[in-house]
Amino acid sequence: MTRDPVALMTAVMCLCLGLTIAHAENPMTDQTPISCHSVPEISEEMTGHLAGICDSLSQLEAITSLEGDLHVTLVAEDIGPDRMRAHLAWASGTETGQGPSVDFGFMDHPLGPQQYDFVATSLANATNFPRSDTNAP
């Protein structure tokens, strides 16, 4: 297994700043590494949920179909049993971008595995990832 230097640097920066981080690698390809972190300190239970959402992101076609040296980061701005506010950020070479912050509320059931795919898909749909055909000469 190869180590992505961007993901490693992100992990080191997050650990130095005291941020919680989870990492998932795309099982099909190493093209689009995914990292996840929370800006506020969160409980072990919420860290597990963040890792589950990160894993769901790594399996989305919207993510796996991205080309190039793209790195995607899920940033949880707020996360709790009944709510989440997050956005996706991406970096590719010298280009960077960030999707809008999306608020989620979980009224019928607390945050759990049944919501991971919904959260991942919603964040990916809200993010304007670079298109490979716009990078062509």
The reply to whether 10 falls in a domain is: yes
pLDDT per residue over 19-30, tens digit each? 334 444 433 344
pLDDT per residue over 16-69, tens digit each? 333 334 444 433 344 478 888 888 888 899 999 999 999 999 999 989 888 788
Q: Residue 14 has what pLDDT?
A: 40
The reply to whether 29 falls in a domain is: yes
The reply to whether 1 falls in a domain is: yes
Scored b (16 or more CB within 10 A) or e, 76-99 reads: beebbeeebbbbbebbbeeeeeeb
In contact, 52 and 113? CB cutoff 8 Å: yes
The reply to whether 98 falls in a domain is: yes
> For all residues of the chain together, what is the average pLDDT?
78
Number of structural domains found in the chain: 2
Q: Which residue has the higher pLDDT, 90 or 22?
A: 90
Amino acid at position 101, single letter: S
For residue 88, what are the β-bridge partners? 74
Range of the domain at 102: 89-126
Q: Which residue has the higher pLDDT, 131 or 13?
A: 131
pLDDT band at 9 (very low <50, low <70, confident <90, very high): very low
Q: Residue 87 has what pLDDT?
A: 97
Q: Residue 69 has what pLDDT?
A: 85
DSSP H/E element including 89: strand 83-92
Q: How far apart are CA 18 and CA 79, in angstroms?
A: 16
Terminal-to-terminal C-alpha distance of the chain: 32
Q: Which residue has the higher pLDDT, 105 or 20?
A: 105
- pTM for the full predicted model: 0.72
The reply to whether 58 falls in a domain is: no
Q: Which residue has the higher pLDDT, 89 or 20?
A: 89
The reply to whether 21 falls in a domain is: yes
